[in-house]
Amino acid sequence: MSGLGWEVMLSIMGGLLVALMGIGVPVAFAFLALNLLGAFFILGGESGLRLLALSTTEAVTSFALVPIPLFILMGEILLHTGLATRAIHAIERLITGVPGRLSLVAVVSGGVFASLSGSSIANTAVLGRVLLPDMLRLGYHPLLSVGPILAIGGVAMLIPPSALAVLFGSLAGISISRLLLAGIVPGLLLAMLFFFFIVAVSRLRPDMAPVQPEEAEPFASRFRPFLIYVMPLMAIVVVVVGSILGGIATPTESAALGSIATVIVAACYRSLSWSAILKALSGTAATTAMIFIIISGSIAFSQILSFSGATRQLVQVVTSMDIHIGTLVIMMLLVALLLGMLMDQISIMLITLPFFMPLINLGGVDPVWFGVMMLIALEVGLITPPFGLLLFIMKSVAPEEVTMRHILASISPYIGIEVLGLLLVFMFPVLALWLPGLM
């Protein structure tokens, strides 16, 4: 098999991977099976298998991956102690007298929770459970109830602390601290675009977001829950982002500081029970184990491709075609958007990055800028039918009257808005590179 041409080698390995995923084999085990075959036939029999074991062990013991479980732990603590729910209700009381009020509450709450949890799944699940029943009871159209929750849920991939951004940076060889900071401005930009869209639709179609009579309440009493339940949580954001931006801590150290700050905040609210701690640790362990198994498979897969010469030859073929680097970046983003319709985000990273990053580095493209655009493209995949993960998360937490047809109909405009945000970052790289440039 090692004597085959690189084209045949690449076709066989890619075909086997697609076939295994197509018959329902989990992505981690699909890569494991492919890596075992590749190590035996390409790397050289038993010695190749030993090399595979060594490379996978080194992959998951990298110090750069430590922020992943710590960022996940932060979100799990906020979720199981109920602090996230209290913060959402506090934001709801503060926002009044605007069209599409609860839709805007969803966007603001989702942005706040994204800056605390780093989990798109947790973001969508919490907002869906807390806000969606009230929105439906008040007669909100799915476009302004289900849609905003799904759209803002994916922004957690961009705004630190983002475990997926850490994973992306590790797999792509990009500075994790710069990538985390680079996602803040594009994430806020997307939230603002959602905000403006909701206000515009609510004004043009008031029937989609019926105005409900609100009790006259002094601003001071409405601001008090925000001051109590939201502002202290912002200290966690300051600790994580501020320590990276100020050069005080590495991403790993900032993640540890953020976890400690989250535990302290939860303890100050007297919400830190042993039950909540055990649930948070259990959820963190399960998610981290899955991610680390996938990471080890991905790195081994990349090494096998490199050893076979497929990666090097593919790069040479593309560079010999004399394609403008901007056109090449657009083609890569289109591939990511199309794959987002068919598979999960981690799988897309595992399949594309071994091919994309050598071309990006050779073409002189800023890897942080490209990384942010890829994260936005992956975020779009979370809400793109037929296999967008957040669509199924929403169906699992939404009331029974919300059908998958309602969910799919609600998300189309927000997909367009996210693609618009992606185009803006492509046209104006400063949106992604300004904040890391302050480091």
Longest pairwise C-alpha distance within the chain: 79
pLDDT band at 340 (very low <50, low <70, confident <90, very high): confident
Buried b (16+ CB within 10 A) or exposed e, 299-326: bbbbbbbebbbbbeebeeebeeeeeeee
Return the percentage of the chain with pLDDT > 70, whole number: 86
Q: Label each residue of 168-230 as H, E or C.
A: HHHHHCCCHHHHHHHCHHHHHHHHHHHHHHHHHHHHHCHHHCCCCCCCCCCHHHHHHHHHHHC
**Residue 327, C-beta contacts closer than 8 angstroms, at least 6 positions apart:** none
Of residues 322 and 72, the one with the higher pLDDT is 72
Residue 10 confidence (pLDDT): 65
Judged against a pLDDT cut of 60, whether residue 2 lies above it is answered with no
Does residue 237 sit within a domain?
Answer: yes
Instruction: Return the closest-CA partner of residue 326 out of 427, 424, 419, 422.
Output: 427
Q: Which residue has the higher pLDDT, 9 or 67?
A: 67
Q: Confirm whether 240 is domain-assigned.
A: yes
> Token digits for 297?
């498979």
Asked whether the bond before 161 is cis by omega within 30 degrees of 0, the reply is yes
Contact 151, 383 (CB under 8 A): yes
- In this predicted structure, the answer to whether residue 7 has a pLDDT above a threshold of 70 is no
| Domain assignment of residue 193, yes or no | yes
User: DSSP character for 402?
Assistant: -
In this predicted structure, what is the pLDDT of residue 25? 73
Closest CA to 2 of 302, 287, 218, 309: 309
Q: What is the pLDDT, as a whole number, of residue 253?
A: 87
- Please tell me which of 114-118, 164-168, 422-426 the model is most confident about, judged by mean pLDDT: 422-426
Give the model's pLDDT for residue 242. Answer: 84
Report d(CA 367, CA 362) in Å as an integer: 11
pLDDT attached to residue 306:
65
pLDDT of residue 215: 64
Q: Is residue 413 part of a domain?
A: yes
Residue-level pLDDT at 311: 57
Q: Does 1 map to a domain?
A: no
Average pLDDT, the chain: 82
Percent of the chain at pLDDT exceeding 90 = 20
Q: At 148, is the pLDDT very low, low, confident or very high (cuts 50, 70, 90)? A: very high
Report H helices in 217-341: 219-229, 231-245, 251-268, 274-308, 310-320, 325-339
Please name which of 49, 4, 44, 10 lies closest in space to residue 305, comparing C-alpha atoms: 10
Buried b (16+ CB within 10 A) or exposed e, 328-342: bbeebbebbbebbee
155 domain residue, yes or no: yes
Residue 113, domain extent: 6-438
Q: Are the CB atoms for 366 and 433 separated by under 8 Å?
A: yes
Of the segments 53-62, 129-138, 219-228, 326-335, which one has the largest average pLDDT value?
326-335
The verdict on residue 222 lying in a domain is yes
Number of domains in the chain: 1
Please give the pLDDT value at position 283: 84
State residue 194's pLDDT score: 95
* pLDDT tens-digit readout, 245-280: 777 888 888 888 988 998 999 999 988 889 999 998
The C-alpha atoms of residue 407 and residue 383 are separated, in whole angstroms, by 10
Confidence band, pLDDT 50/70/90 cuts, at residue 189: very high
pLDDT tens track for 75-96: 888 888 888 888 888 888 888 8
Q: How confident is the model at residue 314 (pLDDT cuts 50, 70, 90)?
A: low
For residues 185-205, give the mean pLDDT: 93
- Please choose, from the candidates 179, 100, 96, 87, the residue with its C-alpha nearest in 3D space to the C-alpha of residue 135: 100
